[in-house]
Amino acid sequence: MAKFKEEATQLLQYIGGKENISAVSHCVTRMRFVLTDPGKADIKKIEGLKTVKGTFTQAGQFQVVIGNEVTTYYNDFIDVAGIEGVSKDAVKTAAKSNQNMIQKVMTNLAEIFAPLIPAIIVGGLILGFRNIIGEIAFFENGTKTLVQVSQFWAGIYSFLWLIGEAVFHFLPVAIVWSITKKMGTTQSLGIVLGITLVSPQLLNAYGVATTAAADIPRWDFGFFQVEMIGYQAQVLPAILAGFTLVYLEKFFRKICPAVISMIVVPFLSLVLSVIVAHGILGPIGWTIGSWISDVVNAGLTSNLNGLFAAVFGFLYAPLVITGLHHMSNAIDLQLIADFGGTTLWPMIALSNIAQGSAVLGMIFLQKKDARAKEISIPACISCYLGVTEPAMFGVNLKYVFPFIAGMIGSALAAVLSVGSGVMANAIGVGGLPGILSIQPKYMVVFAVSMLIAIVVPFVITVVVGKKRKVC
């Protein structure tokens, strides 16, 4: 007998029946539904099912948190429902019909950066480790770093830059590849286009500011010239170039006879994309990206930076719910490229910690509730390691006051972080390990900010929870 047959039958009923399901799939821990009429889902009854650990709606998908047995649960559900599941990509495509224009843009942006996050995190951790061994003077009365006293660690320090440089300096290659993958066009052309943006033949993007205009190399075509500038670590030029390639390839595939398409389509798509990228869109993207990073940096360094930090720290968690937080990845990477670090990302790490600490408060309050701890303990751990969704959707939003407590703690911690000028060298893991990405001179004050993000939400959650007799 199917293990979850009875509960799957109930879920089907509470979700509005077979006719209310446009598409269904699952991920590591959650069932993912696209519902014809989301209003028909009885959330209270669904969350009352024994195996269900919570529900939430994100990016047009109604998601039911099951846990590690989701695969078995999913198989029993589609058997009971008499429907065929589809891939996660198909569910995402179906879900977009429930999204407005802003949500669709944010979803597309998220899907571009999602495959890059593991590499970016690795790069951030590596740069953070290099900070510790190469910039913090632990030895000889605080005058020398580990790299300065050990040839082995000096070699490690130098070797690790190979990976760090590959992740961040050559980021445009990964971005253009991801765009072509998402849009279903030729990925190898995307890789080639990305490489042309960071080719060693070009003046490195980091060297442009210190190079006189007359000394910038140019391609001379007689009646016009194009500057030979690279776009290392630049985000917007890569995005614009990537979509140019995608739409050119789709255009030429439509108009080109199949018999010659294998030759003509890649040639015209790639060559024209490279010309447009370097001659038009690259400079435009660089300028727009610089404007955005300048505005954000001005807010973070102005006399009103405390207010900016408080607002951002307070609202970041709600932004995660809407999906708008994915824009921060592009802004962070642009800040790093333009200013050698980002003051924005430390606030994101603190927000994650604060939401995890609110869950920790709920664990304390519900220490005798075994079922509640099945959800809250893993959620707290994942939140402290930078993954906030299980904590927010599975625990904090369910009771509301822990979510607000996390927002308050995040805002207070952000004020101290930004007010002290805390800057990260790179994007890393967004929870407790995030301190590894902080520039060494700011690690102590960031540790204090982390303490605020831990203590304040925990205390508020416990105090309010006891008044509300949550146990």
Neighbouring CB atoms inside 10 A of 287's CB total: 12
What are the CB-based long-range contacts (under 8 Å, 24+) for 362-367? Answer: 362/395, 362/396, 362/399, 362/402, 362/461, 362/465, 362/470, 364/458, 364/462, 365/461, 365/462, 365/465, 365/466, 365/470, 365/471, 366/470, 366/471
Pairwise CA distance, residues 122 & 171, whole Å: 13
Per the rule left: phi > 0, alpha: psi between -120 and 50, beta: everything else, 386 is: left
The answer to whether 380 is a known catalytic residue is no
Per the rule left: phi > 0, alpha: psi between -120 and 50, beta: everything else, 60 is: left
DSSP three-state, residue 334: helix
Q: Which residues pair with 144 in a beta bridge?
A: 139
Determine which one of 27, 256, 380, 471 is catalytic: 27
Kindly list the distances between the CA atom of residue 397 and the CA atoms of 54, 355, 358, 370, 402, in Å, as whole numbers in the listed order.
10, 10, 11, 19, 7
Q: Which residue has the tokens 């435009």?
A: 284
Neighbouring CB atoms inside 10 A of 227's CB total: 16
Residue 156 near residue 101, CB atoms below 8 Å: no
Of 357, 354, 278, 369, the residue nearest 314 (C-alpha)? 354
Read off the amino acid at residue 40: K
- Residue positions annotated with a catalytic role: 27
